[in-house]
Structure 1
Amino acid sequence: MLISSRRNIVLRVNNSKRQSLRRHTFTVENPRRLFIFRPISNLNNGQPNQWYFLLRLKEYYQIDIFLEDAIVIFQRKPGKHGALELVNRTVKLEDSDHGIPFALLGKYEENFSQEDKNKLAQNVCIKQDLSDVLKRPDVMRKRPHVFNCKVPGEGKPMTNQKASGRCWIFACLNVMRQSFMKAFKVDDFEFSQNHLFFWDKMERANYNLDSYIQCARQGETAGSRLVHHLLINPAEDGGQWDMLINVIEKHGVMPKSCFTEAQSAESSRRMCGLINNKMREFCQKLQKLVTDKATDQDIQKAKEGMLEQIYKILSICLGTPPREFTWEYYNNEKVYNKIGPIKPKDFYDKHVKPLYNVADKVCIVNDPRPQNPYGALYTVDYLGNMSGGKPVLYVNQPIDVLKQLTIESIKAGEAVWFGCDVGKCFSLKPSGILDLQVLDFNLVFGLSVLELSKSDRLMYGESLMTHAMVLTGVNVEDDKSTKWRVENSWGDSDGDKGYLVMSDDWFSEFVYEVVIDKKFIPDNVLNVLQQKPKVLPAWDPMGALAKL
């Protein structure tokens, strides 16, 4: 084993490899240069386990040679080309006082090598994708895409958010379109995701600028935990349900054909990077204005100029949303129809809201941490997307309540927006299965990834909500749910043409919130909305945004 540092080169020599060392040249890359060691002969100093290596250098260097359980030090004699002398120092490996002891590392290596199963797993995992190796076909066969309760008329076509964090927008519009398609007798339909994406970005920029000003006035400046948190990703793609209410009730909706996708909507990273750059710059300028005791009028004027720059970026990258549009279409009876010219807000109020009113939906969450009891209302500090808009509110309930309310909604024909941690125990290709047993970590690694409780996963940073999708079906046996049908927004290449199947125990462990219409919620749960919400810190995991 070769280890290099700035001024030291370490070569591990075992007796079993003495002959091979005579026949090979070893190279080690050092931050400063490349060194070549060629074995010549053993030192004639009464220590047969020590080996001589010709050091082809033009300056002073030192070599540490590991010999079984000791380190023997050689150094070049100044002024004598190619000559080495033994430094009078030998250190036992177990006496190392920094890092992991070498003896312990040797023990780990020996224990690993003694298990033939480890070698087999190593050979396979080096060449194959880990998720493919871990899959359990027997579990996949037990989760067919068949359900005894589904909403009628699932939306078509299957949507695809591509390389963006707009899942929360797609999930909302996918639920919204189901009743709309039935009422307008269309077989295929999408609302414009780009429209909501544009206005969320614009409103959120304003919300964040106001937050920077407020922080400065409260003495929270650059370097504080709060300001640092707010600057991590101010152009975040992801969102929460109440943010959708804010954008839709103000800016409305429109058919996708009237404001189509843009490249920077389908692949948003570069656009968001540019906005992040400007928002951090704006934060610095606004906080300086506050510190310098600028007037409110001067601060507002500066902020308006900043917002104009954000509007320019969004318009160039996403297009300018039309103030009015005309929607022309054929229904499924091949009859021509036309709506418009009409404003997006009027289109929502007149044609969509009577069928699906986003303001009538309540976000029910499952946060089992002991410090956040059930039956209480929560919000998260500085979590939002519209100044003066609806705050993000969570009604915390046991997981069985979330399941029961979701079942009632599906049975009534209304799909359910939900948020989860999609990266856990998930086999996407090809079956699309969310199941605690679908990946066999014990077989390959001899360990479990489910040692922590749901509460502990939240508290120790192992889990939080990352993705929003739609529940469109459930399998109920003996009055209990056994599996769930999930409409995703990653295209139709995986699962059942883009639909996933989720086991009931996966729901228990990794679903964090569902959005339910008030008419399905009992009074004891609905009345929680009358409470004064407990404010969680801005960095709390319940402030995570659906963004995958």
Structure 2
Amino acid sequence: MTHQLSSEELAKFSAAFNKNPQNQVIARAAQNKGILEASYNDRVQADLTQVFSTELDTQNVTDQKKSGRCWEFATLNILRHIFGKKYHVKNFTFSQAYNFFWDKIERANIFYDNIIATADRPIKDREVQAYLEEAGEDGGQFHMAAALIAKYGVVPTYAMPETFNTNNTDGFATALGDKLKKDALVLRQLKQDGKDAELEQAHKTFLNEVYQMTAIAVGEPPKKFDLEYRDDDKKYHLDKDLTPLAFLHKYLGEVDFNDYVVLENAPDHEYGKLYGLPFEDNVEGSYRIKLLNVPMEYLETAAVSQLKDGEAVWFGNDVGQQSENKTGYLDTELYQLNDLFGVNLSMSKADRWRTGVSCSTHAMALVGVDEDNGEIRQWKVENSWGSKYGKNGFFTMNNDWFKEYVDSVVVHKKYLTKELVALAEGPIIDLPAWDTLA
């Protein structure tokens, strides 16, 4: 059944709009200042006090600039807080460029594997198209960063500093994506023709070319470096000729990514299930992306417990919703769009995910929480957008925003019940590339 608009109906719409004189006042404000500024609720700052009952000792923030590497930044920020606390050097940072390099090589390899595995399907197949659409992209998940760190280790920022192409990834992402898609056509044809020897050689040749492109754009990673720093007590430290993996094992050997669980809150999926995202796995033979879907109270409780033990918490979220970058406020009442338009735009979290209104768009770190008699009021958030946003780079998030727009936290399994630990160990329900969690 269709509906055709008539001139009489449109005239009624106009009459109804003009009947209320306040609509013209609101319209002028919205048209002159923009929707968000006209609906901005400045009263939220009275509640977002930026004072926290539990707070990690943090100072500087990192800056991912114009790149989609938040998942890497958030993971390395967790590690740098652990390193800083252990060795009394709070402003130490790890190189994101180093792990970015290896992600490009590993992700190209698994892309080729997936293309070969689906070569018998039409190129317009939904899964094949999903692989092609993501070729060369930057986005990722916690377990992707964990896989890279476990295999390649870490290095200090000075051992492999940022380049133009790590700070501004669009150009390289486009070039690499174009190459991967071109290679996909060749690999599909060789597989379909049964030319296995040529297929294997082409795979290796293409990976060599990806390495060449990445080395040109990013620079080759160091094989060894000297660890040199001065701690917060001004004591000098020097450890020479470390490999990235030796550095990881010697200085952060207590960190075992197998002990960490991604608690997911996706109310459009069944709770108590462990979901996998094979489409987004980036390192063959390493960590798989696993999300344990549970009600929100489990995420809150575990995150608070980990913070109280002095460890930051990686979390995924939809940062574009009800947020303001200059102040760093994350509050569900920040923009009063319902009042501005005079219509109800509210949706449940499950409905937002089902319809694509909301999804996971960013990763940051929780570094503080403010509680009042056990009730969570607000959270301190370490972002990776530099110091010009928020309060010197730190955002303040009220707990209603946490419940509505946070989708995952990464916590040590010691903060989980035995039942949740058992669920986190499997079995895994793999989701397709087009699932709302992907």
**8 Å Cα contact 2:264/2:409 also seen in 1:** yes
Q: Which amino acid aligns with 1:445?
A: F
Residue 290 of structure 1 deviates from its aligned partner by 1.1
**1:98 CA displacement:** 8.9
**Equivalent runs, 1:139-538 vs 2, <5 Å:** 139-151=44-56, 153-154=57-58, 156-216=59-119, 219-295=120-196, 297-354=197-254, 356-369=255-268, 372-429=269-326, 431-450=327-346, 452-538=347-433
Q: Do residues 119 (structure 1) and 15 (structure 2) align? A: no
Deviations 1:237-282 (A, max 9, x none): 1111111121001010010011000111111011101111111111
Q: Distance in 1 between matches of 2:93 and 2:426?
A: 37
What is the CA-CA distance between 1:99 and the residue it aligns to? 5.7
C-alpha change, 1:99 and 1:345, in structure 2 (3 Å) is: farther
For 2:390 and 2:105, the matched residues in 1 are separated by: 35
Q: Name the SS of the counterpart of 2:136 in structure 1.
A: coil
Q: Aligned partners of 2:82 and 2:351: how far apart in 1? A: 39
Q: Is the 8 A contact 2:261 2:424 kept in 1?
A: no
Question: Secondary structure of 1:382's match?
Answer: helix
Deviation of 1:110 after TM superposition, in Å, equals 3.5
How far did 1:148 drift? 1.0
Residues 306-340 of structure 1: CA deviation (Å, up to 9, x unaligned): 11221112111111111111122222333332122
Superposition misfits of 4+ residues, deviation over 4 angstroms: none
| Range that drifts further, 467-476 or 322-331 | 322-331
Secondary structure of the residue aligned to 2:94 is coil
CA distance in 2, matches of 1:260, 1:522: 41
Deviation at 1:291, TM superposition (A): 1.2
Structure with a larger share of its residues in helix: 2
Give, as a single letter, the amino acid of the residue that structure 1 aligns with 2:329: I
Question: Aligned-pair RMSD on alpha carbons?
Answer: 1.7
Residues of 1 paired with 2:392 and 2:351: CA distance? 35
Partners of 2:140 and 2:245 in 1: how far apart? Answer: 21
Matched residue, 1:93: none
| TM-score for the superposition, normalised by structure 1 | 0.77
Identity %: 32
One-letter identity of the residue aligned with 2:351: D
Q: Compare 183-192 and 416-425 and name the one that shifted more.
A: 183-192
Q: 1:111 to 1:269 in 2, by over 3 A?
A: same
Equivalent pairs counted in the alignment come to 437
DSSP 3-state at the match of 1:363: strand
Structure 1 position 410, deviation (Å): 0.7
How far apart, in 2, do the equivalents of 1:361 and 1:329 lie?
29
Higher strand share: 1
Structure 1 residue identity aligned to 2:17:
F
Give distance in 1, aligned partners of 2:213 and 2:15. Answer: 58
Separation (CA, whole Å) in 2 of partners of 1:107 and 1:189: 64
Give how far 1:460 is off. 1.4
Q: Deviations over 1:63-112 (max 9, x none)?
A: xxxxxxxxxxxxxxxxxxxxxxxxxxxxxxxxxx9964333333333333
Q: Which runs of 5+ in 1 are unaligned?
A: 1-96, 544-548
- The alignment partner of 2:134 has SS state of coil
| 2:13 corresponds to which of 101, 108, 111 | 108
Paired residues of 1:240 and 1:392 also in contact (CA < 8 A): yes
- The worse-fitting range, judged by mean Cα deviation, of 474-483 and 111-120 is 111-120
What SS is found at the alignment partner of 2:118?
Answer: helix
Does the 8 Å contact 1:220/1:226 carry over to 2?
no
SS in structure 2 of the partner of residue 541 of structure 1: coil
Q: Go from structure 1 to structure 2 and tell me whether the alpha carbon gap of 1:285 and 1:333 turns closer, same or farther (over 3 Å shift).
A: same
Provide the rounded CA distance (Å) in 2 between the counterparts of 1:517 and 1:148.
Answer: 21
Confirm or deny: 8 A CA contact 1:221 1:287 kept in the other structure: no
AA matched with 1:449: L
Structure of greater relative contact order (alpha carbons < 8 Å, 6+ residues apart): 2
SS in 2 for 1:448: coil
- Residue type of the alignment partner of 1:289: L
